[in-house]
Structure 1
Amino acid sequence: MKKILAAIGVLSLSLNGMQAQESSKFNFSLARQLKHSRIQNREIALFVQGDASVVREKTEALGGTFKYSAGDIHAIRIPLSGIQELGACAEIRRIESNDLQLEPLNDRMVEMNHVSEVHLGFNLPQGYQGDGVIMGIIDEGIDYTHPDFRDNSGRTRIAFLWDQANINFDAATQAQPYGYGKEYTGSQIDTSTQHYDSPTSHGTHVAGIACGNGRALNNYRGVAPKADMIVVKMNLNRPDNEFLSSLVDAVKYIFDKADSLGKPAVINISLGTYFGSHDGKDIQALAIDNLISARPGHVVVCSAGNAGNAPIHLGYEASADTQFTWMQPGTQSLHIQAWGDSGVFGNIRFSVGIDRVRPTRQSLAALPFRAGDLDPGVLKTDTLFDAQGNQLGLIESMVQYWNGAYGLDYRIYPDSIVNINGSDTSRYFWRFSSTGLGRFDAWSYDMVFDNLPDSISYPDIRNYRKPDTDQTLVSSFTCSDKVITVGSYANRNYYTNANFATTMDTSIVVGKLSSFSSKGPTRDGRIKPDITATGEWVLSCGTQAELNQLVAVEPEKVAAGRKHKRSSGTSMSSPVVAGIAALYLQKNPSADWQEVKNALLRCADQDQYTGNNLPDNDWGYGKVDAYAVVRGCTVGIEETGDSPYIDFGVYPNPASASTTFHFDLSLLRDNREPRIRITDPVGRTIKSFVLNRAAGTLEAAITDLAPGYYTVSLETDRRILRTIRLAVVR
């Protein structure tokens, strides 16, 4: 066999003499923009971590704009030509841009999630419908003329709308301090004669679930129908690809407006990207964390993702034997991103190559293996040729280090010889290979999952690692402990459509986990999603333009009355939980994100579909139960639960080395599979004890617990019976 040659050209990021020390502060997206942009005076949105006064002074000196701070993370706009000098400042630790595409993650719902009882005030001090709470919607847009977003007098319920995509603004209408888009007040919306439609009904549908008031047809009411609304329309087609930057801007905008009105706010985000570190430690996620924890009454809820049945994840322990995964090119570039912890990623070496798979199988060329921690911050460009000198493709790669993890990005641009048309494309696969020791995880849309050769015709296939459907969450803020992440289960399988006929799908099992619902855990092993809600076959508001189109060609997708449509996705389950959070904040307006999250998780329901071994990475803590949340399942007081048939205590408390739990469930009918569980402040299970009797004592060693507060729960297979706060001291 002829020797395979790889002609390799490496371009390090050393523009204007910039050193690797400065470039290592940049992420892959920013490095690519610095390399490829031909307009050095073009402004770019960045997040910078470091000393605020230094960042502001340097940004303004370089002709940029300092927008705002979220803790020690600062949002700026600056010309590309000034980024290198900015990176040279010793007081600045990290600079990130982001060109990852956000995508939308897409009645009976109020019954399935036990919302009706809360609206009616059953065994509650009053009914709760979101009065005095802001529901923030960050999405593709909203049809603000839909009747479900107007009150009984016909006035809009939207206090503010920021259209980030609108370029027809002036100083008076521009949202400040962001410097782009157009802001509308409620009174301006009321006097507008335009019918405001987004490209799809996604944002309108999401908003209807969260807080539609049912005014259009006196049904299809959302979870928090009396909440006030603040909406941000994102531009998912913006040419500069600054999606995550503009999303953080949107979060700050809503919280600032809510604070100025003196109201708590819940923000729903049914958008996301599947690329990233999946540990919630990227700079945009940390900025959102800081905005959430800035004051009580700030809550963010988001979709887990719709990749539960998509093989986009690859994760395994590398070995001395070279293992590989194929990627199939289409008409665009290929992208794969690998992440690992700093202690192990350098022990793994990676390579990318290209194989002919039809009519015969042959390796054509490959990059040399490189350590996962080699040259962080240096953008490399490699060109592969076959033995005959034909160019096969261009590969850009870069290692980045941040917050204890290394990330390795490959963007592959196949040449015309392997990418000329569909028939040619199927003849060539790109090969992602690893060797060494240590665990890594990778994500890509392009990995080959099926139709693989057998080991007789292709012996090397024994070393093939197939992608899987685990760890398919969207990344960034979705993986943060401070953000409530929501999976989906089936809401219904029939309804009356626009033509007053029945639309039915008997393959849908009501109550069962949706096949598309993305699964956890996070890359660092934390449970996500946090909770599930109805997201499959949900009827909610649609834009008038799309409803008219659907009635003409697909009337089965439109509900009777022709004001609402059917959609599915975790985009639809997230606003259910956001609405319930708003109901909780109406009752407890000074609650912070932790209290709201604890209330949701501790009161989650379990049934035949969730099973009893929760939390897990499919369901989180179970199915959200609005009534239980609002009625009073909140953790954080001495005890919760009011049953006279339960006895539960802990002594000593505070404790240092050990403590003893005493329990008595003998008079309680529902005492199957009792257990005691200890969880930390973010809801992670630290210890769990199965009780083999209905009454008695249990001594537990706690020397391995760090000092602090923990929640101790007495539970059965059906519900949480009592909770006690345990203080561990040293």
Structure 2
Amino acid sequence: MESQKLENLLNVSLQVTETERKESLILDSGFHSDTKQWDLIIKYSGDLSSISDYAAVTVLQGGYAIVTLNEADIPRLTANPLVEFIEKPKTLYTAVNTAVTSSCILNYRHYSNPELPDSLLGRGTIIACIDSGIDYTHPDFIDDSGSSRILFIWDQGAAGTPPSGYRQGAEFSREQINAALRLQNRSEREQLLPHWDFSGHGTAVLGIAAGNGRASNRNYPGAAPDCDIIVVKLGTPDASGFPRTLELMQAIDYVSRKGAALGRPTAINLSFGNNYGGHDGESLLEQFIDQIAGIGRTAICVGTGNEAAAATHTGGLLKTGQTEDVYFSISPYETNLCLQLWKQYVDDISISLITPTGIRVGPLVTKNKTVKVSAEDMELIIFYGEPSPYSMSQEIFIDFINRSYYLQPGLWSVHLEAQNIIDGKYDIWMPGSISLNSMSRFYYPDGDTTLTIPSTARKVISVGAYNHHNNNYATFSGRGPTRLNQSIKPDLAAPGVDIMSTAAGGGYDRVTGTSFATPFVTGAAALLMEWGIVKGNDPYLYGEKLKACLLKGARRRGQQHYPDSQWGWGRLCLEDSFP
């Protein structure tokens, strides 16, 4: 039986078979088929000791926790009055697809005399990168004395001793990293400190935010070349090979606690996101990040993703009595797909699906109940959600489950009949394009509200990308506004096209994507906190005040109206951002 204490997606996941979950792109995340256990995110109040006899608990800040328990014990967890709401984890994807000058940072870099009053190199600050790890042997993350600039690495997927208070991975200290660096034999070094950045994504992100340029004779330094560094390599327990929101929340909690314990201002860089959710700041992940943003002296910078040109979002405005067909294609050889339609609960809309052969499925009439329908040698799993204590919106979730390995390709449509409309706005998302074949797309996409979650959180600094070679906005960069309250996002844009940065294995390479625009802002945030907090010019220069300064200092183009859904308040410019 579905429970309103569970989010919609978790309700669906618990009502389908294990085989159906396994065939789904999104329902299986969080479930361990070998142990029949779930990893879940809960919001709670009070003392969680009452659930410790049947659940393993990792307590996070702000009234959130991660629990692992048998599926049979979920009703007990749901019935606990201290547990307010429960979500399952979602899969996260990276936003990949001589810019320091464009961001007005070089004017504050004086290597020859870093003690000058206007010299800003990030000293006394921490940049925390939550990503795919780091090549800790790269010269750009080692200071001139040969010591690592990395304070800690938490590899969530490694075997070893996890940080205190957490249940997975291995934590490595600066002392352990330095001991590994002193070993000349690579196999011995890797045996002592078994951490790798296989994709190179995190290494490139950190090179932009914090690299010191030693491997290039200072030709390719990052924004804050003298800051200290904390690295979290997100674990990837799912078969997809991608991390989940659950790992991300623990990582944010970890670096926030580390910064507070060290008494250091901390700029946190996130370059992961996903398309599942209302894109309105109201999921537990987004609310948790907003809570952390208000704890300690932090700034959290998040890329808006690369979905603007991917045709994975569409939407419209309906009036009573109006009908509309939303066309989308399923690519040949597509194995998984789901749609999520979000609308105001006050609106009554009848929804049907039209298959490529003209079969009409629907109207899909359910209420807070999972329904299974057969069509085109596939199974459709449908769930009409209800508002939650944290959201006034209604979600209609449709999952396409194959019965013969591939989904039925061709032109599909969602047929909408507006019956009683007060607001009329609706949005539909597919999963992120990195998880789909290129021909799975909406025929008439909407590039607005394509920013990925959690860049939709209210208190983060959301970063879009532009091409600093011609000052044009990058067509792939996720755009705002947010869905429900139409908040302007991104907050600002930074260079994200053809950026030279550190490469795992040594040297440098060129990278593109909002993943690589975000660390410019993260580095600029560290420099502002160095000026304000470390140097004593403004001890309150963090959080929302720091964001306000960056928005005020952003450079705007000609007669263009600001803020807007692409540029936010303009292009990052540190020089004009001091209060």
Q: TM-score, normalised by structure 2?
A: 0.86
Q: Do the aligned residues in 1 keep the contact of 2:496 with 2:515 (CA within 8 Å)?
A: yes
Question: In structure 1, how many angstroms separate the alpha carbons of the residues matched to 2:396 and 2:514?
Answer: 29
| Deviation (angstroms), 1:619 | 0.3
SS of the aligned residue for 1:607 comes to coil
| Deviation (angstroms), 1:99 | 3.0
Higher relative contact order (CA 8 A, sep 6+): 2
Question: In structure 2, how many angstroms separate the alpha carbons of the residues matched to 1:255 and 1:147?
Answer: 27
Q: Do the aligned residues in 1 keep the contact of 2:155 with 2:195 (CA within 8 Å)?
A: no
| Deviation (angstroms), 1:124 | 8.0
Q: Do the aligned residues in 2 keep the contact of 1:41 with 1:81 (CA within 8 Å)?
A: no
| Deviation (angstroms), 1:381 | 1.9
Q: Which runs of 5+ in 1 are unaligned?
A: 1-13, 15-19, 357-362, 385-390, 453-463, 493-509, 548-562, 635-730
Aligned match of 2:186: none
Please list the CA deviations of residues 266-302 of structure 1 after superposition, one character each: whole Å capped at 9, or x if unmatched. Answer: 100011112211011100111111111123x121001
Letter of the structure 1 residue corresponding to residue 311 of structure 2: P
Alignment of 1:601 onto 2:578 = no
Q: Do the aligned residues in 2 keep the contact of 1:145 with 1:196 (CA within 8 Å)?
A: no
Letter of the structure 1 residue corresponding to residue 491 of structure 2: D
| Deviation (angstroms), 1:470 | 1.8
Question: In structure 1, how many angstroms separate the alpha carbons of the residues matched to 2:443 and 2:353?
Answer: 15
Alignment of 1:512 onto 2:472 = yes
Structure 2 residue aligned with 1:128, among 100, 117, 120? 120
Q: Do the aligned residues in 2 keep the contact of 1:105 with 1:271 (CA within 8 Å)?
A: no
Letter of the structure 2 residue corresponding to residue 316 of structure 1: G
Q: Do the aligned residues in 2 keep the contact of 1:165 with 1:238 (CA within 8 Å)?
A: no
Change (3 A) 1:613 1:123: farther
Aligned match of 1:32: 13
Q: Do the aligned residues in 1 keep the contact of 2:121 with 2:226 (CA within 8 Å)?
A: yes
Q: Do the aligned residues in 1 keep the contact of 2:90 with 2:276 (CA within 8 Å)?
A: no
The list of structure 1 runs, each at least 4 consecutive aligned residues, that deviate by more than 6 angstroms after superposition, is 121-124, 446-452
| Deviation (angstroms), 1:41 | 5.2
Aligned match of 2:202: 203
Structure 2 residue aligned with 1:44, among 38, 48, 66? 38
Aligned match of 2:215: 216
SS of the aligned residue for 2:340 comes to strand
Please list the CA deviations of residues 434-487 of structure 1 after superposition, one character each: whole Å capped at 9, or x if unmatched. Answer: 1113211111158999999xxxxxxxxxxx972222211102x21112000011
Aligned match of 2:417: 435
SS of the aligned residue for 1:98 comes to coil
Q: Do the aligned residues in 1 keep the contact of 2:329 with 2:440 (CA within 8 Å)?
A: no
Structure 2 residue aligned with 1:366, among 356, 361, 366? 361
Aligned match of 2:529: 585
Q: Do the aligned residues in 2 keep the contact of 1:449 with 1:466 (CA within 8 Å)?
A: no
Q: Which has the larger displacement, 177-186 or 432-441?
A: 432-441
Question: In structure 2, how many angstroms separate the alpha carbons of the residues matched to 1:23 and 1:471?
Answer: 27
Aligned match of 1:619: 567
Question: In structure 2, how many angstroms separate the alpha carbons of the residues matched to 1:622 and 1:131?
Answer: 27
Question: In structure 2, how many angstroms separate the alpha carbons of the residues matched to 1:450 and 1:102?
Answer: 19
Question: In structure 1, how many angstroms separate the alpha carbons of the residues matched to 2:440 and 2:403?
Answer: 24
| Deviation (angstroms), 1:103 | 2.8
Aligned match of 2:149: 157
Please list the CA deviations of residues 39-62 of structure 1 after superposition, one character each: whole Å capped at 9, or x if unmatched. Answer: 595443222123232xx134213x
Alignment of 1:118 onto 2:132 = no
Decide which structure has the larger Cα Rg and report it: 1
Q: Do the aligned residues in 1 keep the contact of 2:352 with 2:360 (CA within 8 Å)?
A: no
Q: Do the aligned residues in 2 keep the contact of 1:101 with 1:236 (CA within 8 Å)?
A: no
Letter of the structure 2 residue corresponding to residue 198 of structure 1: D
| Deviation (angstroms), 1:419 | 4.0
Letter of the structure 1 residue corresponding to residue 367 of structure 2: D
| Deviation (angstroms), 1:237 | 6.0
Change (3 A) 1:116 1:242: closer
Q: Do the aligned residues in 2 keep the contact of 1:98 with 1:242 (CA within 8 Å)?
A: no
Question: In structure 2, how many angstroms separate the alpha carbons of the residues matched to 1:323 and 1:109?
Answer: 45
Q: Do the aligned residues in 1 keep the contact of 2:350 with 2:363 (CA within 8 Å)?
A: no
Aligned match of 1:95: 86
Q: TM-score, normalised by structure 1?
A: 0.69
Structure 2 residue aligned with 1:399, among 370, 373, 384? 384
| Deviation (angstroms), 1:35 | 3.8
Letter of the structure 1 residue corresponding to residue 413 of structure 2: R
Question: In structure 1, how many angstroms separate the alpha carbons of the residues matched to 2:222 and 2:503?
Answer: 13
Structure 2 residue aligned with 1:573, among 509, 517, 525? 517
Change (3 A) 1:399 1:105: farther
Question: In structure 1, how many angstroms separate the alpha carbons of the residues matched to 2:115 and 2:196?
Answer: 41
Q: Do the aligned residues in 2 keep the contact of 1:59 with 1:78 (CA within 8 Å)?
A: no
Change (3 A) 1:26 1:469: closer
Letter of the structure 2 residue corresponding to residue 331 of structure 1: E
Aligned match of 1:533: 494
Question: In structure 2, how many angstroms separate the alpha carbons of the residues matched to 1:155 and 1:451?
Answer: 49
Letter of the structure 1 residue corresponding to residue 430 of structure 2: S
Q: Do the aligned residues in 1 keep the contact of 2:448 with 2:479 (CA within 8 Å)?
A: yes
Q: Do the aligned residues in 1 keep the contact of 2:340 with 2:397 (CA within 8 Å)?
A: yes
Q: After superposition, where does 1:228-247 map in structure 2 within 5 Å?
A: 228-236=228-236, 238-239=238-239, 243-247=244-248
| Deviation (angstroms), 1:34 | 6.3
Q: After superposition, where does 1:623-634 map in structure 2 within 5 Å?
A: 623-629=571-577, 632=578, 634=579
Aligned match of 1:250: 251
Please list the CA deviations of residues 591-622 of structure 1 after superposition, one character each: whole Å capped at 9, or x if unmatched. Answer: 331111001001111135xx431110110000
Question: In structure 1, how many angstroms separate the alpha carbons of the residues matched to 2:361 and 2:395?
Answer: 20
Letter of the structure 2 residue corresponding to residue 313 of structure 1: H
Change (3 A) 1:135 1:58: same
Question: In structure 1, how many angstroms separate the alpha carbons of the residues matched to 2:211 and 2:483?
Answer: 36
| Deviation (angstroms), 1:23 | 4.9
Question: In structure 2, how many angstroms separate the alpha carbons of the residues matched to 1:439 and 1:45?
Answer: 34
Question: In structure 1, how many angstroms separate the alpha carbons of the residues matched to 2:203 and 2:440?
Answer: 40
Aligned match of 2:63: 72
Question: In structure 2, how many angstroms separate the alpha carbons of the residues matched to 1:122 and 1:624?
Answer: 23
Question: In structure 2, how many angstroms separate the alpha carbons of the residues matched to 1:186 and 1:470?
Answer: 43
Aligned match of 2:24: none
Aligned match of 1:522: 482
| Deviation (angstroms), 1:31 | 3.6
Q: After superposition, where does 1:243-322 map in structure 2 within 5 Å?
A: 243-295=244-296, 297-319=297-319, 320-322=321-323
| Deviation (angstroms), 1:352 | 2.4
Please list the CA deviations of residues 126-167 of structure 1 after superposition, one character each: whole Å capped at 9, or x if unmatched. Answer: 30111111100011111110000001111111100011111x
Change (3 A) 1:196 1:90: closer
Question: In structure 1, how many angstroms separate the alpha carbons of the residues matched to 2:312 and 2:520?
Answer: 27
Aligned match of 2:25: none
SS of the aligned residue for 1:622 comes to coil
| Deviation (angstroms), 1:238 | 3.0
Change (3 A) 1:140 1:122: closer
Q: After superposition, where does 1:350-499 map in structure 2 within 5 Å?
A: 350-356=351-357, 363-370=358-365, 374-376=366-368, 378-384=369-375, 392-400=377-385, 401-402=387-388, 403-416=391-404, 419=406, 426=409, 428-436=410-418, 437=421, 438-444=424-430, 466-475=444-453, 477-492=454-469
SS of the aligned residue for 1:142 comes to coil
Change (3 A) 1:263 1:30: farther
* Residue identity (%): 27
Q: After superposition, where does 1:3-22 map in structure 2 within 5 Å?
A: 14=1, 20=2, 22=3
Q: Do the aligned residues in 2 keep the contact of 1:27 with 1:97 (CA within 8 Å)?
A: no
SS of the aligned residue for 1:519 comes to coil
Change (3 A) 1:165 1:405: same
Q: Do the aligned residues in 2 keep the contact of 1:162 with 1:184 (CA within 8 Å)?
A: yes
